[in-house]
Protein backbone atom coordinates (compact mmCIF):
# COMPACT_ATOMS: atom_id res chain seq x y z
CA UNK A 1 0.00 0.00 0.00
CA UNK A 2 1.35 3.40 -0.98
CA UNK A 3 1.21 6.20 1.56
CA UNK A 4 1.88 9.77 0.46
CA UNK A 5 3.09 12.41 2.84
CA UNK A 6 1.19 15.63 2.83
CA UNK A 7 1.96 18.96 4.45
CA UNK A 8 -0.78 19.38 7.07
CA UNK A 9 -0.17 23.11 7.25
CA UNK A 10 -1.59 23.53 3.77
CA UNK A 11 -5.29 24.22 3.62
CA UNK A 12 -7.72 25.81 1.26
CA UNK A 13 -6.87 29.15 2.89
CA UNK A 14 -3.18 29.10 2.00
CA UNK A 15 -2.77 26.57 -0.82
CA UNK A 16 -1.73 28.25 -4.03
CA UNK A 17 -3.31 27.38 -7.38
CA UNK A 18 -0.23 25.43 -8.46
CA UNK A 19 -0.24 23.40 -5.24
CA UNK A 20 -3.92 22.60 -5.61
CA UNK A 21 -3.41 21.51 -9.21
CA UNK A 22 -0.41 19.38 -8.22
CA UNK A 23 -2.43 17.65 -5.50
CA UNK A 24 -5.26 16.95 -7.95
CA UNK A 25 -2.93 15.36 -10.50
CA UNK A 26 -1.01 13.41 -7.86
CA UNK A 27 -4.15 11.72 -6.50
CA UNK A 28 -5.84 11.38 -9.90
CA UNK A 29 -2.90 9.66 -11.59
CA UNK A 30 -2.22 7.47 -8.55
CA UNK A 31 -5.71 6.00 -8.70
CA UNK A 32 -5.71 5.90 -12.50
CA UNK A 33 -2.43 4.00 -12.93
CA UNK A 34 -2.44 1.87 -9.79
CA UNK A 35 -5.93 0.50 -10.32
CA UNK A 36 -6.29 0.32 -6.55
CA UNK A 37 -9.24 1.17 -4.36
CA UNK A 38 -10.01 4.40 -2.56
CA UNK A 39 -8.45 3.17 0.68
CA UNK A 40 -5.03 2.73 -0.94
CA UNK A 41 -4.25 6.45 -0.89
CA UNK A 42 -3.78 7.07 2.82
CA UNK A 43 -2.66 10.22 4.49
CA UNK A 44 -3.95 12.06 7.52
CA UNK A 45 -3.68 15.40 5.76
CA UNK A 46 -6.20 14.80 2.96
CA UNK A 47 -9.87 15.62 3.42
CA UNK A 48 -12.04 12.61 2.61
CA UNK A 49 -14.16 14.87 0.43
CA UNK A 50 -11.13 15.34 -1.81
CA UNK A 51 -10.57 11.59 -2.06
CA UNK A 52 -14.17 10.66 -2.88
CA UNK A 53 -14.35 13.37 -5.53
CA UNK A 54 -11.16 12.46 -7.36
CA UNK A 55 -11.69 8.72 -6.94
CA UNK A 56 -15.16 9.03 -8.44
CA UNK A 57 -13.67 10.82 -11.46
CA UNK A 58 -11.24 7.96 -11.99
CA UNK A 59 -14.08 5.46 -11.56
CA UNK A 60 -15.84 7.18 -14.45
CA UNK A 61 -12.93 6.15 -16.66
CA UNK A 62 -12.72 2.63 -15.21
CA UNK A 63 -16.46 2.00 -15.62
CA UNK A 64 -16.85 3.83 -18.93
CA UNK A 65 -17.10 0.71 -21.12
CA UNK A 66 -18.70 -1.57 -18.54
CA UNK A 67 -22.34 -2.56 -18.37
CA UNK A 68 -24.71 -0.05 -16.75
CA UNK A 69 -28.04 -0.92 -15.19
CA UNK A 70 -30.02 1.16 -17.72
CA UNK A 71 -27.66 1.27 -20.71
CA UNK A 72 -25.17 -0.87 -22.58
CA UNK A 73 -22.33 0.96 -20.84
CA UNK A 74 -21.76 3.75 -18.33
CA UNK A 75 -20.42 5.91 -21.16
CA UNK A 76 -23.66 5.50 -23.09
CA UNK A 77 -25.66 6.47 -20.02
CA UNK A 78 -23.53 9.60 -19.54
CA UNK A 79 -24.04 10.64 -23.16
CA UNK A 80 -27.81 10.19 -22.85
CA UNK A 81 -28.23 12.09 -19.59
CA UNK A 82 -25.75 14.94 -20.10
CA UNK A 83 -26.88 16.03 -23.54
CA UNK A 84 -28.95 18.89 -22.11
CA UNK A 85 -26.56 19.83 -19.28
CA UNK A 86 -24.41 22.80 -20.22
CA UNK A 87 -21.77 24.35 -17.99
CA UNK A 88 -22.63 28.06 -17.71
CA UNK A 89 -20.69 30.34 -20.10
CA UNK A 90 -19.52 27.49 -22.35
CA UNK A 91 -22.44 26.70 -24.75
CA UNK A 92 -21.07 23.13 -24.74
CA UNK A 93 -23.22 20.16 -23.60
CA UNK A 94 -21.24 17.87 -21.33
CA UNK A 95 -22.24 14.82 -23.38
CA UNK A 96 -19.66 15.86 -25.99
CA UNK A 97 -16.88 14.97 -23.58
CA UNK A 98 -18.37 11.49 -23.08
CA UNK A 99 -18.04 10.50 -26.74
CA UNK A 100 -15.46 7.91 -25.72
CA UNK A 101 -13.19 7.07 -22.80
CA UNK A 102 -10.18 8.95 -24.17
CA UNK A 103 -12.05 12.21 -24.73
CA UNK A 104 -13.47 11.90 -21.24
CA UNK A 105 -9.97 11.37 -19.85
CA UNK A 106 -8.70 14.39 -21.79
CA UNK A 107 -11.51 16.44 -20.29
CA UNK A 108 -10.65 15.40 -16.73
CA UNK A 109 -6.93 16.07 -17.18
CA UNK A 110 -7.01 19.37 -19.06
CA UNK A 111 -10.43 20.98 -19.49
CA UNK A 112 -11.93 20.39 -16.04
CA UNK A 113 -9.01 22.09 -14.21
CA UNK A 114 -9.13 24.97 -16.69
CA UNK A 115 -12.87 25.45 -16.19
CA UNK A 116 -12.39 25.25 -12.42
CA UNK A 117 -9.82 28.04 -12.66
CA UNK A 118 -12.03 30.24 -14.86
CA UNK A 119 -14.96 29.62 -12.53
CA UNK A 120 -12.83 30.53 -9.53
CA UNK A 121 -11.82 33.84 -11.08
CA UNK A 122 -15.46 34.58 -11.87
CA UNK A 123 -16.62 33.63 -8.36
CA UNK A 124 -13.97 35.79 -6.72
CA UNK A 125 -15.38 38.79 -8.61
CA UNK A 126 -19.14 38.23 -8.60
CA UNK A 127 -19.98 36.00 -5.63
CA UNK A 128 -20.82 38.65 -3.05
CA UNK A 129 -22.09 36.10 -0.52
CA UNK A 130 -18.59 34.78 0.15
CA UNK A 131 -15.34 36.67 0.54
CA UNK A 132 -12.82 34.12 -0.66
CA UNK A 133 -9.71 34.42 -2.78
CA UNK A 134 -9.16 32.81 -6.16
CA UNK A 135 -6.91 30.26 -4.44
CA UNK A 136 -9.69 29.25 -2.04
CA UNK A 137 -12.32 29.01 -4.75
CA UNK A 138 -10.00 26.94 -6.95
CA UNK A 139 -9.34 24.52 -4.10
CA UNK A 140 -13.06 23.99 -3.63
CA UNK A 141 -14.02 23.87 -7.30
CA UNK A 142 -11.28 21.42 -8.29
CA UNK A 143 -10.88 19.22 -5.22
CA UNK A 144 -14.19 19.14 -3.36
CA UNK A 145 -17.04 20.82 -5.23
CA UNK A 146 -20.36 20.89 -3.42
CA UNK A 147 -22.80 22.23 -6.01
CA UNK A 148 -25.74 20.23 -7.33
CA UNK A 149 -24.03 18.75 -10.39
CA UNK A 150 -21.08 17.44 -8.36
CA UNK A 151 -23.34 15.51 -5.97
CA UNK A 152 -25.51 14.26 -8.83
CA UNK A 153 -22.44 12.93 -10.63
CA UNK A 154 -21.20 11.36 -7.38
CA UNK A 155 -24.51 9.57 -6.83
CA UNK A 156 -24.47 8.33 -10.43
CA UNK A 157 -20.98 6.91 -10.00
CA UNK A 158 -21.84 5.10 -6.77
CA UNK A 159 -24.86 3.31 -8.25
CA UNK A 160 -23.04 2.59 -11.52
CA UNK A 161 -20.24 0.95 -9.53
CA UNK A 162 -22.69 -0.86 -7.25
CA UNK A 163 -24.83 -2.20 -10.09
CA UNK A 164 -21.72 -3.42 -11.94
CA UNK A 165 -20.30 -5.23 -8.90
CA UNK A 166 -23.61 -6.54 -7.50
CA UNK A 167 -25.63 -7.07 -10.67
CA UNK A 168 -26.80 -10.65 -10.14
CA UNK A 169 -28.09 -9.88 -6.66
CA UNK A 170 -29.70 -6.54 -7.49
CA UNK A 171 -30.82 -6.51 -11.14
CA UNK A 172 -34.49 -6.87 -10.19
CA UNK A 173 -34.16 -3.93 -7.81
CA UNK A 174 -32.44 -1.74 -10.42
CA UNK A 175 -35.23 -2.56 -12.87
CA UNK A 176 -37.54 -0.49 -10.65
CA UNK A 177 -36.22 2.65 -12.35
CA UNK A 178 -38.35 1.61 -15.31
CA UNK A 179 -41.36 3.83 -14.63
CA UNK A 180 -43.87 1.22 -15.77
CA UNK A 181 -42.39 -1.65 -13.79
CA UNK A 182 -42.22 0.59 -10.72
CA UNK A 183 -45.96 1.32 -10.95
CA UNK A 184 -46.87 -2.35 -11.39
CA UNK A 185 -44.67 -3.66 -8.58
CA UNK A 186 -45.57 -0.77 -6.32
CA UNK A 187 -49.26 -1.51 -6.70
CA UNK A 188 -48.68 -5.19 -5.89
CA UNK A 189 -46.90 -4.22 -2.66
CA UNK A 190 -49.56 -1.64 -1.67
CA UNK A 191 -47.19 1.27 -2.13
CA UNK A 192 -49.16 4.45 -2.94
CA UNK A 193 -48.08 4.85 -6.58
CA UNK A 194 -50.01 6.86 -9.15
CA UNK A 195 -52.82 4.73 -10.66
CA UNK A 196 -52.87 3.63 -14.30
CA UNK A 197 -55.94 3.86 -16.51
CA UNK A 198 -57.18 0.33 -17.13
CA UNK A 199 -57.69 0.67 -20.88
CA UNK A 200 -55.68 -1.07 -23.65
CA UNK A 201 -55.10 2.04 -25.77
CA UNK A 202 -56.22 5.61 -26.27
CA UNK A 203 -56.65 7.82 -29.31
CA UNK A 204 -55.63 11.47 -29.22
CA UNK A 205 -57.18 13.38 -32.12
CA UNK A 206 -56.72 17.05 -33.01
CA UNK A 207 -60.05 18.87 -33.15
CA UNK A 208 -59.38 20.56 -36.52
CA UNK A 209 -56.87 18.61 -38.62
CA UNK A 210 -58.44 16.38 -41.29
CA UNK A 211 -57.36 13.76 -43.82
CA UNK A 212 -56.33 11.17 -41.24
CA UNK A 213 -53.67 13.49 -39.86
CA UNK A 214 -53.48 14.74 -36.31
CA UNK A 215 -54.37 11.30 -34.93
CA UNK A 216 -52.18 9.46 -32.44
CA UNK A 217 -52.89 6.06 -30.89
CA UNK A 218 -51.00 4.99 -27.76
CA UNK A 219 -50.85 1.40 -26.44
CA UNK A 220 -50.94 1.00 -22.67
CA UNK A 221 -47.75 -0.67 -21.42
CA UNK A 222 -49.61 -2.37 -18.56
CA UNK A 223 -52.36 -3.99 -20.63
CA UNK A 224 -51.48 -3.99 -24.30
CA UNK A 225 -47.70 -4.48 -24.19
CA UNK A 226 -47.22 -0.87 -25.29
CA UNK A 227 -44.64 1.77 -24.53
CA UNK A 228 -46.88 4.35 -22.87
CA UNK A 229 -48.02 4.92 -19.30
CA UNK A 230 -51.59 6.19 -19.55
CA UNK A 231 -52.76 8.14 -16.52
CA UNK A 232 -55.01 11.03 -15.64
CA UNK A 233 -53.32 14.37 -14.92
CA UNK A 234 -53.22 14.92 -11.17
CA UNK A 235 -53.52 18.28 -9.46
CA UNK A 236 -51.77 19.71 -6.44
CA UNK A 237 -53.29 19.59 -2.98
CA UNK A 238 -54.91 22.78 -1.73
CA UNK A 239 -51.87 23.47 0.46
CA UNK A 240 -49.44 23.33 -2.49
CA UNK A 241 -51.82 25.08 -4.88
CA UNK A 242 -51.85 28.09 -2.55
CA UNK A 243 -48.06 28.33 -2.89
CA UNK A 244 -47.87 28.24 -6.70
CA UNK A 245 -50.01 29.60 -9.53
CA UNK A 246 -53.28 27.98 -10.60
CA UNK A 247 -51.73 26.78 -13.88
CA UNK A 248 -48.47 25.50 -12.37
CA UNK A 249 -47.73 21.79 -12.93
CA UNK A 250 -47.94 19.06 -10.32
CA UNK A 251 -45.24 20.21 -7.90
CA UNK A 252 -43.52 17.37 -6.11
CA UNK A 253 -41.20 16.85 -3.17
CA UNK A 254 -37.88 15.17 -3.94
CA UNK A 255 -36.71 13.02 -1.01
CA UNK A 256 -33.35 11.24 -1.11
CA UNK A 257 -33.11 8.04 0.94
CA UNK A 258 -30.00 5.94 1.42
CA UNK A 259 -28.59 2.96 3.22
CA UNK A 260 -25.03 2.66 4.48
CA UNK A 261 -22.78 -0.08 3.16
CA UNK A 262 -22.71 -1.78 6.58
CA UNK A 263 -26.37 -1.37 7.56
CA UNK A 264 -29.87 -1.96 6.21
CA UNK A 265 -31.24 1.10 8.00
CA UNK A 266 -32.84 3.58 5.60
CA UNK A 267 -31.93 7.24 6.19
CA UNK A 268 -33.06 10.50 4.61
CA UNK A 269 -30.32 12.61 3.04
CA UNK A 270 -32.32 15.63 1.86
CA UNK A 271 -35.85 16.84 1.14
CA UNK A 272 -36.77 19.53 -1.41
CA UNK A 273 -40.06 21.06 -2.54
CA UNK A 274 -39.96 21.77 -6.27
CA UNK A 275 -42.37 24.65 -6.77
CA UNK A 276 -43.41 24.48 -10.42
CA UNK A 277 -43.33 27.49 -12.70
CA UNK A 278 -46.07 29.25 -14.64
CA UNK A 279 -47.55 27.16 -17.53
CA UNK A 280 -44.85 24.47 -17.36
CA UNK A 281 -45.74 20.82 -18.04
CA UNK A 282 -43.58 19.43 -15.23
CA UNK A 283 -41.73 20.69 -12.16
CA UNK A 284 -38.31 20.05 -13.67
CA UNK A 285 -38.27 23.79 -14.25
CA UNK A 286 -39.00 24.90 -10.69
CA UNK A 287 -37.79 26.85 -7.70
CA UNK A 288 -36.21 24.50 -5.16
CA UNK A 289 -37.10 25.04 -1.51
CA UNK A 290 -35.22 22.90 0.97
CA UNK A 291 -37.39 21.39 3.72
CA UNK A 292 -35.78 21.11 7.15
CA UNK A 293 -36.90 17.53 7.80
CA UNK A 294 -34.87 17.16 11.00
CA UNK A 295 -36.41 19.86 13.17
CA UNK A 296 -38.51 22.83 12.08
CA UNK A 297 -40.04 21.29 8.89
CA UNK A 298 -39.89 24.79 7.39
CA UNK A 299 -38.97 25.85 3.86
CA UNK A 300 -35.71 27.64 3.16
CA UNK A 301 -35.19 30.39 0.63
CA UNK A 302 -35.52 29.03 -2.91
CA UNK A 303 -32.82 28.37 -5.50
CA UNK A 304 -32.63 27.12 -9.08
CA UNK A 305 -30.23 25.31 -11.40
CA UNK A 306 -31.72 26.50 -14.70
CA UNK A 307 -28.44 28.18 -15.68
CA UNK A 308 -27.06 24.67 -16.23
CA UNK A 309 -29.75 23.99 -18.84
CA UNK A 310 -29.41 27.17 -20.91
CA UNK A 311 -28.41 26.43 -24.50
CA UNK A 312 -26.75 28.76 -26.98
CA UNK A 313 -26.17 32.36 -25.95
CA UNK A 314 -28.53 31.90 -23.01
CA UNK A 315 -25.71 30.08 -21.21
CA UNK A 316 -24.09 33.49 -20.72
CA UNK A 317 -27.10 34.81 -18.78
CA UNK A 318 -26.09 35.19 -15.13
CA UNK A 319 -29.50 36.26 -13.80
CA UNK A 320 -30.48 32.82 -12.52
CA UNK A 321 -26.97 32.18 -11.20
CA UNK A 322 -26.75 35.11 -8.81
CA UNK A 323 -29.90 37.22 -8.71
CA UNK A 324 -32.09 34.11 -8.78
CA UNK A 325 -30.61 32.29 -5.79
CA UNK A 326 -32.69 33.92 -3.09
CA UNK A 327 -36.33 33.18 -3.85
CA UNK A 328 -37.98 33.80 -0.50
CA UNK A 329 -41.05 34.71 -2.58
CA UNK A 330 -42.20 32.51 -5.46
CA UNK A 331 -41.63 34.57 -8.66
CA UNK A 332 -44.97 33.57 -10.24
CA UNK A 333 -47.43 33.37 -7.35
CA UNK A 334 -45.75 36.11 -5.28
CA UNK A 335 -46.38 34.01 -2.19
CA UNK A 336 -43.88 34.04 0.66
CA UNK A 337 -42.58 30.45 0.82
CA UNK A 338 -39.52 30.86 2.99
CA UNK A 339 -40.39 30.00 6.57
CA UNK A 340 -43.64 28.15 5.77
CA UNK A 341 -43.99 24.93 7.77
CA UNK A 342 -44.60 21.81 5.69
CA UNK A 343 -47.35 19.85 7.43
CA UNK A 344 -46.78 16.20 6.47
CA UNK A 345 -43.00 15.77 6.50
CA UNK A 346 -43.01 12.66 8.70
CA UNK A 347 -45.72 11.00 6.62
CA UNK A 348 -43.72 11.58 3.43
CA UNK A 349 -40.51 10.24 4.99
CA UNK A 350 -42.28 7.15 6.28
CA UNK A 351 -43.77 6.52 2.84
CA UNK A 352 -40.47 6.64 0.91
CA UNK A 353 -38.46 4.82 3.59
CA UNK A 354 -40.94 1.95 3.51
CA UNK A 355 -40.81 1.88 -0.31
CA UNK A 356 -37.00 1.76 -0.25
CA UNK A 357 -37.05 -1.11 2.26
CA UNK A 358 -39.39 -3.38 0.30
CA UNK A 359 -38.70 -2.41 -3.33
CA UNK A 360 -34.95 -1.78 -3.43
CA UNK A 361 -33.45 -2.77 -0.07
CA UNK A 362 -29.89 -3.16 -1.41
CA UNK A 363 -29.66 0.00 -3.52
CA UNK A 364 -27.33 2.59 -1.90
CA UNK A 365 -29.27 5.74 -2.71
CA UNK A 366 -32.63 6.61 -4.31
CA UNK A 367 -34.47 9.82 -5.17
CA UNK A 368 -38.27 9.72 -4.78
CA UNK A 369 -40.74 12.08 -6.42
CA UNK A 370 -43.62 12.44 -3.97
CA UNK A 371 -46.83 14.14 -5.05
CA UNK A 372 -49.33 15.55 -2.57
CA UNK A 373 -52.47 15.57 -4.67
CA UNK A 374 -56.07 16.71 -4.44
CA UNK A 375 -57.22 13.09 -4.75
CA UNK A 376 -58.60 12.79 -1.21
CA UNK A 377 -55.55 14.82 -0.15
CA UNK A 378 -53.37 11.72 -0.49
CA UNK A 379 -49.67 11.19 -1.14
CA UNK A 380 -48.55 9.37 -4.29
CA UNK A 381 -45.15 8.21 -5.51
CA UNK A 382 -44.63 9.17 -9.15
CA UNK A 383 -41.34 7.39 -9.70
CA UNK A 384 -37.98 6.57 -8.22
CA UNK A 385 -34.64 7.82 -9.55
CA UNK A 386 -31.58 5.75 -8.68
CA UNK A 387 -29.07 8.05 -10.39
CA UNK A 388 -30.55 10.82 -8.31
CA UNK A 389 -30.22 14.58 -8.10
CA UNK A 390 -30.30 16.51 -4.82
CA UNK A 391 -31.89 19.57 -6.50
CA UNK A 392 -29.88 21.97 -4.33
CA UNK A 393 -31.18 20.35 -1.16
CA UNK A 394 -29.27 20.82 2.09
CA UNK A 395 -27.48 17.78 3.47
CA UNK A 396 -25.01 16.79 6.17
CA UNK A 397 -21.70 17.06 4.32
CA UNK A 398 -19.74 14.89 6.77
CA UNK A 399 -22.39 12.17 6.74
CA UNK A 400 -22.58 12.20 2.94
CA UNK A 401 -18.79 12.10 2.60
CA UNK A 402 -18.53 9.06 4.87
CA UNK A 403 -21.45 7.43 3.04
CA UNK A 404 -19.64 7.77 -0.30
CA UNK A 405 -16.24 6.72 1.05
CA UNK A 406 -17.62 3.62 2.79
CA UNK A 407 -19.55 2.49 -0.29
CA UNK A 408 -16.51 2.95 -2.54
CA UNK A 409 -14.36 1.01 -0.07
CA UNK A 410 -16.93 -1.79 0.25
CA UNK A 411 -17.28 -2.17 -3.52
CA UNK A 412 -13.50 -2.10 -4.02
CA UNK A 413 -13.10 -5.28 -1.99
DSSP letters for 245-304: -TT-----EEEEEEE-TT---EEEEEEEEEEEPTT-SSTTSEEEEEB-TTTT-BB--BB-
Q: What is the mean pLDDT of residues 360-367?
A: 98
Please provide the size of the chain in residues: 413
* pTM for the structure as a whole: 0.93
Of residues 284 and 258, more confidently modeled: 258
126: nearest Cα among 115, 116, 135, 137? 137
Amino acid 2: pLDDT:
42
Q: Which domains does the chain have, with CATH numbers?
A: 17-146 (no CATH), 171-195+233-393 (3.30.470.20), 197-230 (no CATH)
Using a pLDDT cut of 70, give the percent of the chain over it: 93
Q: pLDDT (tens digit, 9 = 90+) per residue, 190-237?
A: 999 999 998 999 999 999 998 888 999 999 999 888 999 999 999 999
The CA distance from 158 to 166, in Å, is 12
pLDDT greater than 50 at residue 5: no
pLDDT greater than 90 at residue 319: no
Contact, 298 vs 291, CB < 8 A? yes
HSE-up of 124 (CA within 13 Å, CB side)? Answer: 16
The CA distance from 43 to 168, in Å, is 35
409: nearest Cα among 15, 133, 38, 32? 38
DSSP run (H or E) holding 217: strand 215-219
Q: Which residues contact 177 (CB under 8 A, 6 or more apart)?
A: 69, 70, 383, 384, 385, 386, 387
Amino acid sequence: MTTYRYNKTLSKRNMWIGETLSLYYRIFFYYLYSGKGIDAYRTSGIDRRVLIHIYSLVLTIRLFSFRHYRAKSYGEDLRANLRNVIVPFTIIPLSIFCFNKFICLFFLIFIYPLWALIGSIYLSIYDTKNSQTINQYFYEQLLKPNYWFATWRMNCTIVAYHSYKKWEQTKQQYSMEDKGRFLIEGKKLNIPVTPILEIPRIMIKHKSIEGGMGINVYDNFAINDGDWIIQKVFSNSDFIQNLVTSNAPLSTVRIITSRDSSSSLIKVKTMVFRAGRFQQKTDHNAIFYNIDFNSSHCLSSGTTNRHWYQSGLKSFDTTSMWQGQNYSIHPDSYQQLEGIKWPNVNEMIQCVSHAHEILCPDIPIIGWDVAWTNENNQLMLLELNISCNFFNGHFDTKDYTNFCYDWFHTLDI
